Amino acid sequence: DAKTTQPPSMDCAEGRAANLPCNHSTISGNEYVYWYRQIHSQGPQYIIHGLKNNETNEMASLIITEDRKSSTLILPHATLRDTAVYYCIVRVVTDTGNQFYFGTGTSLTVIP
C-alpha cells in the first residue's frame, strides 16, 4: 500500500525553485520520509531523506511539517535536467528490515 500521495504532475520555469508537495498523514513516529527521482529509462535515484527536522544537501532541501503529516521537496534552481518523476517514500521499519513504499510520484517538467 502506498503511504504517500502526490500531485501527478507539475511544471516549473528553468532557474526557479521547484516545490514538490507530499502528504503522508498516516506516518508513524519512527518512519522516515525519503525522496527519489527517476529519469526516463533509468532506475530511481536517491535525493534526500529526513525524520522530523528539515534537511539540506547539494541536490535539494526537505521541509517536514511539525506534525509530520506532509513534506515538501525543494529544488532551489531547477534546470532542464531536473525533468523527471519525483517519488515521495515512507520507509517502514519491520521485524525483518526496512521497507520502502513508493507512491505514484509527481512528473516534474522544467520549462525553458
Partner 1 sequence: ETGVTQTPRHLVMGMTNKKSLKCEQHLGHNAMYWYKQSAKKPLELMFVYNFKEQTENNSVPSRFSPECPNSSHLFLHLHTLQPEDSALYLCASSQVRGGTNEKLFFGSGTQLSVL
Q: What residues make contact with partner 1 under the rule CB under 8 A?
A: 2, 32, 34, 36, 41-46, 49, 51, 87, 91, 96-105
Report in angstroms how near the CB of residue 112 gets to partner 1 at its nearest: 27
**Residue 10, number of CB atoms within 10 A of its CB:** 16
Nearer to partner 1, 19 or 101 (CB): 101
User: Could you give the CA distance from residue 32 to residue 81 in angstroms, rounded to a whole number?
Assistant: 27
Nearer to partner 1, 37 or 78 (CB): 37
User: Could you give the CA distance from residue 33 to residue 68 in angstroms, rounded to a whole number?
Assistant: 9
Burial 46-81 (b: 16+ CB within 10 A, else e): ebbebeeeebeeeebbbbbeeebebbbbbbeebeee
Report in angstroms how near the CB of residue 59 gets to partner 1 at its nearest: 13
Report in angstroms how near the CB of residue 28 gets to partner 1 at its nearest: 15
Report in angstroms how near the CB of residue 93 gets to partner 1 at its nearest: 9
Q: Which of 78, 60, 74 is nearest to 22 (CA)?
A: 74
Nearer to partner 1, 93 or 111 (CB): 93
Nearer to partner 1, 80 or 100 (CB): 100
